[in-house]
Structure 1
């Protein structure tokens, strides 16, 4: 907890509705509530002229009230006071985290979820790009804080708790970005207005990160991914697993995947649930095994490795069902590969036929050209030979006629 103490101490003493300047309460008085039963420090807010622990204000203290009588008072950050009252008895609370659901559920789930949000908001390091970049030792320290109030021992429980912390850590940073960074025109101006409870050095880091190309690129990609959701859920902040457990407790009947999808995703514009019901109502033959609801949901919503569409990030696919889908996908891929290979072979055969046809055509053309050349030569010879003979005869006749003239003896 060495990495969290300085930052946690720096966040204590800041008021949500009042800004305390220039002197804050001493550290030992700020953590007075936390020392009683191991609860988290609750002295983050001040109302009026007294602090949460009713300690007198130090001499020289100046209070600047940011609210006016005409301004509507807003709800402040959750402090989980209900849990603090329960912990006065000194007993730790038990929570349900079924492995098959992968979520925090049950009657005591909300106090734990709220407590994890308080722990993350007050103590989680902010000078990192995301939850996964927080040091393992710091994450273990955060978990230890939760163990002060809840029984969290099993390895699976630890993973589920960290997953919940991850979600609330992202939500906290999103609110800081939306409510305290975006309203300002520039990064420099935003740095001058840190949120209550956030140390200046942490806020400077966040402002620089919010302005970076890395953050903007990731935000744009997340927005595109979000836009690809065909049927958004309609259950608010409750997980689908928690919704199913609560509905089961109310009705006394276990909620199947199809009915759970209707409750969490039903839309008049989409007809996924109607398709599921239609597939479920199909008659089954004598030698056919009935199709389970998980397979019906997967057929309608599509399959994604390691994730059940329509069920959230908690539950994981059944191994046999996942293997069935993987086998089906492999068979489909093999079938497509075979079809492509057959098309390629057919194209190669067609090319061979074309090449053979081209070769035969070339041979025919060559023969025709040779034939034409021979015929042309013969025709030329037939025409030229008489002319040549005539010219030779005329030359002989001319020679005989000129010979007496040229011979002096004949004079």
Structure 2
């Protein structure tokens, strides 16, 4: 059903349908989560739930749907989960700083900047450091960056992506495969 519905709106030429469908669904889900987050921040957070529920409804949202959304966002369960997530985000030692770009896109941009013929010539450690460095060149993991430099100097081969590269030695293997 989902594939039939999406194929009415999207055309995927020369690509695997499954991979394309997964990508489209991922993008739709992300856009939906971001939209709900923006609605919550703009209209609901730190405001009286009753006044919000019965007051101004954002353009394009039916009143019935808006009331259900406000009710869901003002439950104690949602507030507890939100508070827990806020605490967990605060525990991050060095959040990623590369915005919408994935690690793969960041790696590709780095390869293009260095005029390399392949993205494979950029090591996982370099991409990790770039992803955790702000625009003003402040590294989010300064201790880790120093340790990586020490490992690089002692073993230059540890720069390249490998099961035993310098980053794996310091922070462990990737969780997502």
Report TM bin, short chain: 0.7 to 0.9
Where in structure 2 are the equivalents of 1:131-150 lying within 5 Å? Answer: 137=1, 139-140=2-3, 143-144=6-7, 146-148=9-11, 150=12
The count of residues paired between Structure 1 and Structure 2 equals 163
Q: When the two structures are superposed, what TM-score results if normalisation uses the length of structure 1?
A: 0.36
More helix by share: 2
Q: Deviations over 1:62-104 (max 9, x none)?
A: xxxxxxxxxxxxxxxxxxxxxxxxxxxxxxxxxxxxxxxxxxx
Compared CA separation, residues 279 and 147, structure 1 to 2 (3 A): same
Bigger-Rg structure (1/2): 1
Q: Shift of residue 158 of structure 1?
A: 2.2
Say whether 1:186 aligns with 2:48: yes
Q: CA RMSD in A?
A: 2.6
Say whether 1:302 aligns with 2:172: yes
Cα distance between partner residues in 1 of 2:169 and 2:57: 49
Q: Deviations over 1:200-259 (max 9, x none)?
A: 111111100001122112212211221221111222232222222233234332322111
Q: Shift of residue 141 of structure 1?
A: 6.2
Q: When the two structures are superposed, what TM-score results if normalisation uses the length of structure 2?
A: 0.76
Cα distance between partner residues in 2 of 1:283 and 1:249: 25
Compared CA separation, residues 272 and 283, structure 1 to 2 (3 A): closer
Cα distance between partner residues in 2 of 1:179 and 1:142: 32
Unaligned runs of 5+ in 1: 1-136, 285-289, 308-315, 318-411
Cα distance between partner residues in 1 of 2:65 and 2:27: 23
Unaligned runs of 5+ in 2: 134-138
Say whether 1:271 aligns with 2:143: yes
Where in structure 2 are the equivalents of 1:3-402 lying within 5 Å? Answer: 137=1, 139-140=2-3, 143-144=6-7, 146-148=9-11, 150-151=12-13, 153-182=16-45, 185-191=47-53, 192-253=55-116, 254=119, 255-266=122-133, 267=139, 270-283=142-155, 291=158, 292-294=160-162, 295=164, 296-303=166-173, 307=175, 316-317=176-177
Cα distance between partner residues in 2 of 1:193 and 1:175: 15
For residue 136 of structure 2, what is the aligned residue in structure 1?
A: none
Q: Deviations over 1:246-280 (max 9, x none)?
A: 33234332322111122111316622123223212
